[in-house]
Amino acid sequence: MEIVNRRLSLNEFRHYIKEYYFGAQPANKLVIHHTWKPTKESWAGEQSILGLKGYYERKGWKAGPHLFIAEDGIWLFTPMRNNGIHAGTLNPRSIGIEVVGNYDLEVWSGNTKMNALGAIESLMKQLDLTKSDIHFHRDASGKSCPGRAITKEWLFYELSQLDLGPMIPRSFEDLNRNITAPSPVDSNSSSAMVLIPVPDWAREAVDFVVKYRLFKIASSQDLRDAVKFHRFYKIIQANHG
Ligand SMILES: [Zn+2]
């Protein structure tokens, strides 16, 4: 079974679907589910994704749902341009959205709620869908899915209250995430020159700057400069080695 197996933040997801090719006949409806199991508590990111892939493969399925929405982000499963397997007669031209957790007794909450509402809202916009294009799994089966606590009235009210705001440029979001990655330099000799935590992506470059005592690393701009210097150094080295 082909799966995308990528985790996106809601902001990244909004960028992703803007550029995504949804196929010659894009999905014309969404089908909302809950996983029931794994629960919110037992969800383990990629480990759970691979577990689900194995589970569907053992059933002999060639595809599964398209998205798993959890506290840790929006996981891409079956490519959204392909028909998935998740809701019987509703499978053709639908995007199957699994909200991780059991919602028979409680509604979505926390990041899961924001990610689910945000994904639904942005897919509706992108694919030009209306409320009547939003289906629940139970509309086509005897199950309670996506959970008895989730009603269309509740969902549409929550969507009407949702304000996603403008999209953050992707490069800026990546940069922020990288800069805040806690990864202190441990070498004593470099501590005088390195005044901020060094994320993994800049480590080799910072080591290079420290080795040749080029400049102090005291800001995120210095980290980027270090990476540029180092890249330049590598190019020179490659052409004169
Ligand atoms: Zn379902």
Digit-coded pLDDT (tens) for 140-182: 999 999 999 999 999 999 999 999 988 877 766 665 555 444 3
Residue 89 Cα to ligand 1 middle (Å): 12
| 20-24, 113-117, 131-135, 216-220: least confident range | 216-220
Sequence length of the chain is: 241
Does residue 73 surpass a pLDDT of 60? yes
- Prior bond of 199 cis (ω within 30°): no
Residue 55 Cα to ligand 1 middle (Å): 15
Residue 37 Cα to ligand 1 middle (Å): 11
Residue 110 Cα to ligand 1 middle (Å): 21
Q: How confident is the model at residue 193 (pLDDT cuts 50, 70, 90)?
A: confident
Residue 150 Cα to ligand 1 middle (Å): 12
Write out the two tokens for 65: 């749902």
- Classify residue 78 as exposed, middle or buried by CB count within 10 Å of its CB (0-12, 13-18, 19+): buried
Is 82 within 8 Å of 63 (Cβ atoms)? yes
Residue 12 Cα to ligand 1 middle (Å): 25
Could you give all domains of the chain from N- to C-terminal order, each with its CATH number?
Answer: 6-161 (3.40.80.10), 181-240 (no CATH)
Residue 142 Cα to ligand 1 middle (Å): 10
C-alpha 147/C-alpha 45 separation (Å) is: 21
Query: What is the predicted pLDDT for the residue at 168?
Result: 79
DSSP bridge pairs for 98: 33, 68
The torsion angles phi and psi of 29, rounded to 5 degrees, stand at: -160, 160
Is 149 within 8 Å of 143 (Cβ atoms)? no
Residue 130 Cα to ligand 1 middle (Å): 21
